[in-house]
Amino acid sequence: MWWLLLLITVVVVAFHSASASVIESTWEVEYKYWWPDCKEGIVMAINGQFPGPTIDAVAGDTVIIHVVNKLSTEGVVIHWHGIRQNGSPWADGAAGVTQCPINPGETFTYKFIVDKAGTHFYHGHYGMQRSAGLYGMLIVRSPKERLRYDGEFNLLLSDWWHQSIHAQELALSSRPMRWIGEPQSLLINGRGQFNCSQAAYFNKGGEKDVCTFKENDQCAPHTLRVEPKRVYRLRIASTTALASLNLAVQGHQLVVVEADGNYVAPFTVNDIDIYSGETYSLLLKTNALPSKKYWISVGVRGREPITPQALTVLNCVNATTDSRPSHPPPVTPTWNDTERSKSFSKKIVAAKGYPKPPEKSHDQLILLNTQNLYEDYTKWSINNVSLTVPATPYLGSIRYGLTSAYDLKSPAKKFTVDNYDIMKPPANPNTTKGSGIYSFPLGIVVDVVLQNANVLKGVVSEIHPWHIHGHDFWVLGYGDGKFKPGVDEKTYNLKNPPLRNTVVLYPYGWTALRFVTDNPGVWFFHCHIEPHLHMGMGVVFAEGVDRIGKMEIPDEALGCGLTRKWLMNRGRP
């Protein structure tokens, strides 16, 4: 097939070229009135722009972003999703883990090297600011790109609520919890449509429901203008707060070539599933017809799809301005067809030339994901501990030996497998809260098994996409039911597992991954669904504590909590 010539053996290289450039910018973060889905709302904008500006770098470049907090009453941070931050853990942008929130009126400078090519994005990582629209694309190009294509487009996918994030945070933190519901709209590059549809004319009498746009409407879709019989790279990132998505391009097949900044063995599909925190590159060869338009559809998977599809158009160069696609948009696959989703995930394997994982691990965590109650507040827990991130960032606490800043007792490494029925609501619904961390020496191999289970009430097990900071990991395998230690390890793919930074945990199943503790720092590992993290669904890894104790960390990163007091008293008798 045509795409077989597009990808050759990959050699994974981290670039630190003497000719590398410096990309420097000042970003002012503030709230703005906006019309993301043709209904006025409030977004978090960067320099008056929503979504935020795209960073376009080459592997080996240094990125310097001066973030100015122009919010009146709240802090802010930005996480550079997919950037490993080797040698710069304080620039990871995780509030309470690697830095303090940037106070209103203050500026914090993020400086880091983008050492590996790939499709990435950035987003807020304080409270639920990602849900408010604090996000944008981060593209790192290879100076020796192996893929051949004629052009490219970025598609940043998100979901949108009409309720403010402050109201959502309060609802989720209330007793009893008030669920925020499904998003009102899905957005493609920050644009969607509420209470109208671009494709309504296919419905009987639906012409009245067709969206009409005025010039410069903020909700008007950006069409993708293409030429026939050309190859285009679609760089896709999902920064959704809740929704798992499916994307299809009408009349075209898609070749998957990259996942989370790592090349994969190319394979062809009609559509892709993409979970919050994931990124992909797809190659699309346009049809020979120069005057047609084709739908690009994005729909909800994994949850009952109350939210309508997001749509935009692949517009061939000779198509007239007033013409419309001649067929209805692709239908999103059935929302609860989990086997279809698993089939897609299992097709993703590493491209030729990628390093294989070590054959054995030195340590293993089995992390049970449950929904529980803590003093009648609804929480998400890992091994019966709901994470509470402390006021003093872990990185600073470890650097300066502030042992009272967080729980020194680590959470349990494994849950009691035999005594927990993952197919039913928990027999004991109560959980605990804690701020303990898992601490690992440098240079060891760690296996993590994520185990899903039934929620607090009813017969439901939810999808959880898990994201790690500071690392890629090998995805060794997926399984149904309860993980069986000593048995299921034999099913692991050690030949060509993909390297990812985000992986999905399917309902009532398990997912296994492996990583090497080769990046000194403190790293978040959490469910990328915003309400779930807000309700405690995460853990923290500390690597090379002795190295952290010698790091030169900018004081500006640690000006809160106990580190603030320590820094103020430094040098005093």
**What's the pLDDT tens digit per position in 472-503?**
999 999 999 999 999 999 999 999 999 999 99
**β-strand pairing of 22-34 with 62-69:** parallel
Among residues 163, 334, 173, the alpha carbon closest in space to that of 241 is found at: 163
The two tokens of residue 43 are 């977004």
Q: What percent of the chain has pLDDT over 70?
A: 96
**Three-state secondary structure along 8-57?**
CCCCCCCCCCCCCCEEEEEEEEEEEEECCCCCCEEEEEECCECCCCCEEE
Among residues 261, 331, 251, 256, the alpha carbon closest in space to that of 294 is found at: 251
Half-sphere exposure of 203 (CA within 13 A, CB side): 12
Confidence of residue 319 (pLDDT cuts 50, 70, 90): confident
Confidence of residue 305 (pLDDT cuts 50, 70, 90): confident
Residue 66: is its pLDDT beyond 70?
yes
Q: Tell the CATH superfamily of the 12-143 domain.
A: Cupredoxins -  blue copper proteins (2.60.40.420)
Confidence of residue 146 (pLDDT cuts 50, 70, 90): confident
State the CB neighbour count (10 A cutoff) for residue 463. 22
Q: 18-39 burial string, b = 16+ CB within 10 Å, else e? A: eebeeeeeebebbbeebebbbb
Which pLDDT score, from 0 to 100, does residue 117 have? 96
CB 38, CB 219: distance < 8 Å: yes
Q: Name the E strands within 114-228.
A: 118-124, 135-141, 151-160, 185-188, 224-226
Confidence of residue 148 (pLDDT cuts 50, 70, 90): very high
CATH 2.60.40.420 placement within the chain: 12-143, 146-354, 363-567
Residue 387: is its pLDDT beyond 80?
yes
Residue 209: is its pLDDT beyond 80?
yes
Which pLDDT score, from 0 to 100, does residue 1 have? 53
Of 37 and 9, the one with more pLDDT: 37
Q: What percent of the chain has pLDDT over 90?
A: 88
Which pLDDT score, from 0 to 100, does residue 4 have? 45
Determine the length of the chain.
573
Residue 13: is its pLDDT beyond 50?
no
Please tell me the distance from the alpha carbon of residue 364 to that of residue 464, in angstroms, as a whole number.
20
Which pLDDT score, from 0 to 100, does residue 415 have? 87
Element (H, E) at 505: strand 502-505
* CATH code for residues 363-567: 2.60.40.420
Which pLDDT score, from 0 to 100, does residue 130 have? 98
CB 172, CB 535: distance < 8 Å: yes
Fold of 146-354: Immunoglobulin-like (2.60.40)
Single-letter code of the amino acid located at 253: Q
**7-11, 72-76, 179-183, 534-538: range with lowest mean pLDDT:** 7-11
* Beta-bridge partners for 116: none
The two tokens of residue 234 are 């679609």
pTM, to two decimals: 0.95
Which pLDDT score, from 0 to 100, does residue 287 have? 87
Q: What is the DSSP letter of 365?
A: E
Residue 289: is its pLDDT beyond 80?
no
